[in-house]
Every structure is written in structure tokens, then in C-alpha cells.
Amino acid sequence: MAKTLAQKIIDSHAVEKNDRECALRIDQTLTQDATGTMAYLEFEAIGIERVRTELSVSYVDHNTLQSGFENADDHRFLQDVARKYGIWFSRPGNGICHQVHLERFAAPGKTLLGSDSHTPTAGGIGMLAIGAGGLDVASAMAGMPFSIPRPEVVGVILKNRLGEWVSAKDVILELLRRLTVKGGVGRIFEYAGDGVKTLSVPERATITNMGAELGATTSIFPSDGVTRAFLAAQGRRESWKACAADKGAVYDETVEIDLAAIEPLAACPHSPDNVSPVRELAGRPVDQVLIGSCTNSSLKDLMLVAAVLEGRKIHPDVSLAIAPGSRQVLSMLAQNGALAHIIGAGARILETACGPCIGMGQAPRTGAVSVRTFNRNFHGRSGTASAGVFLASPETAVACALTGRVTDPRELGKCPAIRLPGKFAIDDSLIIPPAADGSRVEVTRGPNIKPLPRRGPMEDSLELTVLLKLEDNVTTDDIMPAGAKILPLRSNIDAISRYVFSGIDPDFASRARDAGPGCILARDNYGQGSSREHAALAPMHLGIKAVFARSFARIHRSNLINFGILPVTVSAEAYAALGKGERVSLTGIRAAIDGKAGLKAQDLEKGTDLDCSLGVSDREREILKQGGLLNFIKSTVGG
């Protein structure tokens, strides 16, 4: 039977398959420092001496702003843990994890699990790359398979080629415009068609990167001659192999995109799927332009920006800042003279890191319009709640920087032609290999690195207070904000938990502590966005025992289960019946987890039953009964 590429990789890595889930062997893992410290504390708690993957890499790219001791302490902890347990360590300044991994480690046909929602970036090279919570990554490093719900595979058929000034960013924005941020839940997006060969690996990676904004499990391109040329230029020809869907493979659904028909697009505030043609937005003043992030910081992206800026000056009312995605990119821009064009135009050069994409600096002024080549524009994520953030391609962003207003880049005349080099500059001196004998490595722990909170076994009955009632598409940024103030507390759950839902309800944490066992009520797609498990771990620490929602985002639902929080699906009627401050009882929890009976929920204020369910797999049942994944792992994995 002809198979899709995703099916072929899943089948070759399947440890177990059933009607509900696929358990996959994981070849590679990656972590970044916003999620990595907790992931490695969890790995230590499992109690094995060495990682059991083919390759694991720890990156420092999120919290590089060292305004206090906390980030620097975590960086040292991460470096020591990597040396001790068999993990490669990418030092601060080496670049964004997804960009560096694509350059130096990603391999077609392999599986990659990363504690970052944009891990599917590596799908641009033909890898089945999936984002997950840190505890899932820790368990994969311990040699356990990673389970995903059996996905649908959507074939995205690309035709023709992109026109001038139109880029891969516009392709994924078009898909978001059509399908919305909920359109990819439970799905893998597999790209095929004659248009694939017209896209470089960095362009493919831009598309797979922002597949995360669709809610997709992952996205993947075939590995072909374009992939081989990219890997050869990186000095990694031996990593290449051809990977593609079988001829005649049947997809669960297909979407056709005529690349030649796409025009420059932008996602308007405050959601990646609020997409409009740039020409319809043209003319509004722009205060800030930021070019970078794991979506659009490749050499190809920044060479194009440099070519447009050559001999020009940015508009006097615009602040333009550019963050190369890796040390390799920055070095090559410097060597070929492109960096001089960027600096000469008046741009500010930022560190090779995530930076403003996660609210680490470059917050715009009050009420500003900020055009960014990033992947998310959630309300307040920029650091300025009143700012309006637009997501656009590097082509559109640089046009806005030059004119001081939203500008269709096609107004700039002929688009420069950019060719990738036949050989990239390779310097892996900031990637530190693990120690041959980890037993001799002492791990340094700063005072902000606290023990991991634990939960006991699942209760059979609970009485809960509804602490918040929320609408659709609640993000992990809403639940557990990021930014320069909060992220340094990531390894101290008691401290970071004080900021849970702080952007929505500043008193939430104190109310939750005082209320005793509590729950959250929401509508569809609860927990979209980042993979940060702190959005489950910190609420668990505050006493949250359940989340009642119409539907959940994949990664966050897994994180809730991993930390012993019940993901309860409620009907529209049950959602409407409950209000903030009301009490809910849950009885027969363990029988419901076992699938022996339905979950019994009652509105204690009205004395009425609530229509809800707890749909979990066999594996999830065992995790929930034990009160979370770490308890389950310790009972499963030997030293």
C-alpha cells in the first residue's frame, strides 16, 4: 500500500500502535534554556546515568539577557548537566536552537522531539520533528517512546513558483488564513507537488516552523536534491538520504496552493490567523520593524534584507533591529559584506538569539505598530500591551522600515536575486561535546534552582472552585507569561507560579492558593501556542486539579496529564451553566480514568449534573492514576 512520507517515518519508528495512539522511538532531542532547566531536573529525577538517544542537544537561546544572576546560573547548570549525561551543549551566542539544529544536526528520515513548539522547523529537511513538554523530552532522553494521537495527514500540494517579493512566510500565512489556528489540531501537514522543488531548505523550514501556529502535530517536506545540496554545503552530505511519499499515496485531506497566485500577506493583531493582503493594510504608520526569530533569520532571509538596504537609509521614524539566527549566519554576513549594508542603513544588530520574539527586549512604545518576521503576535507578547504587532515576511518588513509605513514590497521595484552559497562557513567551537565519563562531572546549582514540585496519586473525588472562566484560544502566554521579568524564574516553580494568569487576573495566584483545590473553565483550543510545561506545572503547584474545556491544544493537553491535571471535555451547555467562583464536584474519578464509568460532575451551587467526559488512552490512564508522568516513569524505567 502506498504511504505518505509521514506514515513511512512513523511506521519505521513505531514501538506500539493502536487505534488511538502511536508510540514512537525518538532519535534526537533538543531543549532550549526556557524549558531546558526543568527538563533536566526531571531527567535527573528519573535517575539514569546517560541519555539513551542517538543525539541530544541543549541550546541556550531564549534567556540570554543576564540582568541578574538567575539566567547565568541556569546556563552553567545546563552546561554541566550536558557534560555529565551525554548531551551536546550549544553555548549562548551560537544561535537559535531551530536554526542551528537545521544547520548542524537535523537529518532526513529521523525523529526529533524538542521542548519547544517550533521544533517542526526541522521538517523542512525531511525530519519528523515534534514539539512537546520538557517532561516528555526528559522521558525520551531516558529511552522511553513518545506517544502522539494517531494523526490525520494533510497533503499540501504546491504548484508553480513564488512571484517576486513573495516568500515562504506568505505561504504559511495563506494556510493560516484558510485554516485558522485550530485548523491543524491532530494533523500532520505534508508538502508535495511540483512547487516543492522551487523552495530552498530555509524556505521550507519557515513553512514548517509556523505550522505550529496551525496547532499541527508537525509539518514535513520531502528530502530531495535541494536537501542534499543544503546538507553538502553544511559539510554533512553523509546525513542526507532521499525521503518522499510513495507514488499514489493517499492523504486524509488535500489542500492546493498555487504559489504563483500568492501575494504579500501579514497577520494583523492579535493572532497569527488574522491575515490580510499587505496592499489592503498599506499606508498605516510603522514605528518598529524587527527581523529575525526561528522563522525568518536564515542566511537567505538576511541576504535579501541586506540587498534591499544597500545604499539606502531606514525611515527616521522607524526603529529597525535585526537578529541573525545563528553564529554561522552572522559570520557569513560579516564575511560577504552584507552586514555592512545592514548597519549602514541604520539597523540595530541584536544577539543571535530569540530575544524580542519571546518578549526579551525591544518592547515597542505605547500604542506602537510593530512589524515583525516572527511567528506569534499574541496580545502583550511584545512586552507592550497597547502595541499592535503585525507578522510579515522579511521582504515586507524591510519595505516598511524604508518607507515608515505598511508597504507592499512590490512597490520597491525589482526584487534582488539571492543564491545560497555552495559551502557554508562552519565553526562548531561553541558546541561543546559531552564528557566521556560523566560520573566525574559536578553539576553547579544556583540558588534559584529549586527542587521539582511533585504530586501524589490521583484522588477519587474532588470538590473544586472555578477560579477563571475563559473564552476560545487561551494561549500558554495567557496562562504563564514569558518576558524578561518572568522567564528567569523558570527553575523556581514557587516563584514563577505567582505570575500564572497575571495578564488576565493579577490576583489569580493568591486567590488560587487561598481557594484550595481549583479548576479552570474555558472554551475551544485551550493552551494553544508554546510548549512551555510551566503553564501546567505552575497551576498544579497552585492547586489546580482540573481544566474544563470544550477542546484542548495537543501539547498543552499532554502537559496537563503529565502533571496530574485532569483535562475534562465539557459540552456547550455545561460551559454556559458554570460561572467563576462556583463549586464543582467530581466523583468516580479513578473509574472514569479506567474507562469503567463516565466521569460524574455536579454543579454544587445548582445541584445539577454537568455533561462532561474524560477521554484518555491506556497510557494516559496510567499516568493520571499515578499523579503524573514523572511518577509513572520512575515506576517504569530502570537505572
Which tens digit of pLDDT belongs to each residue from 326-360?
Answer: 999 999 999 999 999 999 999 999 999 998 998 88
- Residue of 529, 543, 539, 536 lying closest to 559 (CA atoms): 536
The CATH number that applies at residue 544 is 3.20.19.10
The burial of 37, by beta-carbon neighbours within 10 Å (0-12 exposed, 13-18 middle, 19 or more buried), is given as buried
**pLDDT over 70 percentage in the chain:** 99
Q: Phi/psi at 114 (nearest 5 deg)?
A: -130, 145
Tell me how far apart the alpha carbons of residues 313 and 346 are, in angstroms, rounded to a whole number. Answer: 6
Q: Is residue 609 part of a domain?
A: yes
Kindly state whether residue 562 falls inside one of the protein's structural domains: yes
> Which residue range is the domain that position 49 belongs to?
5-259
Q: Cell 503576535 belongs to which residue?
A: 377
pLDDT digits (tens, 9 = 90+) for 417-469: 998 899 999 999 999 999 999 999 999 999 999 988 888 999 999 999 999 99
270 shares a domain with 213: no
Closest to 440 measured CA to CA, from 118, 84, 25: 84
Q: Which three cell numbers stand for residue 191?
A: 508538502
What is the arithmetic mean of pLDDT over 261-265?
98
Of the two residues 358 and 54, the one the predictor is more confident about is 54
Where in 214-347 does DSSP place strands (E)? 218-220, 253-258, 265-267, 275-277, 288-291, 319-322
Shared domain check, 471 and 334: no
Residues 304-322 pLDDT 10s? 999 999 999 999 999 999 9
Asked if 274 and 215 sit in the same domain, the reply is no
Q: Where are the beta strands (DSSP E) in 441-582?
A: 461-469, 518-521, 544-549, 566-570
Q: Do the Cβ atoms of 369 and 287 come closer than 8 Å?
A: yes
Q: Which residue, among 223, 211, 13, has the nearest Cα to 112 in the 3D structure? A: 13
For the chain, the distance separating the N- and C-terminal CA atoms, rounded to the nearest angstrom, is 41
- Please report the pLDDT score of residue 19 as a whole number: 83
**Residue 441 belongs to some domain of the structure:** no
Confidence band for 210, pLDDT divided at 50, 70 and 90: very high
H/E run at residue 158: strand 152-159
Q: Are residues 228 and 311 in the same domain?
A: no
Which residues, 6+ apart, have CB-to-CB distance to 40 below 8 Å?
31, 58, 77, 78, 81, 85, 138
In a domain, 445, yes or no: no
Residue 639 has pLDDT above 70, yes or no: no
The mean per-residue pLDDT over the stretch 625-636 comes to 87
Q: How many domains does the chain have?
A: 3
Do 505 and 562 lie in a common domain? yes
Residues 279 and 243 in one domain: no
Across residues 494-521, what is the average pLDDT? 96
Residue 425 lies in a domain: no
250 and 308 both lie in a single domain: no
Q: Would you say residue 330 lies in a domain?
A: yes
Q: Per the domain annotation, does 371 fall within a domain? A: yes
User: Do 275 and 253 belong together in one domain?
Assistant: no
**Could you tell me if 85 and 438 are in contact, meaning their C-beta atoms sit under 8 angstroms apart?**
yes
Q: What is the DSSP string of 339-365?
A: HHHHHHTTPEEPPSS-GGGGTSS-PPP
Residues 210, 71, single domain; the answer is: yes
Q: For residue 378, what is the DSSP state?
A: -
The pTM of the full predicted model, rounded to 2 decimals, is 0.95
Same-domain check for residues 341 and 280: yes
Q: CB of 36 within 8 A of CB of 59?
A: yes
> Considering 406, 431, 447, which residue would you say is the last residue of a domain?
406
The last residue of one of the domains, among 214, 243, 259, is 259
- Report if residue 378 sits inside a domain: yes
Read off the DSSP letter of residue 215. T
Question: Residue 123: which CATH number?
Answer: 3.30.499.10
Per-residue pLDDT, averaged over 509-524, amounts to 96
Q: Quote the distance between the C-alpha of residue 100 and its chain's center.
A: 15
293, amino acid identity: S
Q: How confident is the model at residue 112 (pLDDT cuts 50, 70, 90)?
A: very high
In the listed set 239, 259, 279, which residue is the last one of a domain according to the structure?
A: 259
Verify that 104 and 169 share a domain, yes or no. Answer: yes
Report the phi/psi class of residue 233: left, alpha or beta, with left for phi > 0 and alpha for psi in -120 to 50. Answer: alpha
Please tell me whether residues 275 and 222 are part of one structural domain.
no
CB-based contacts of 186, cutoff 8 Å, min separation 6: 149, 151, 152, 217, 554
DSSP state of 121: G
Distance CA 324, CA 313 (A): 20
pLDDT at 65: 86
Across residues 192-211, what is the average pLDDT? 98
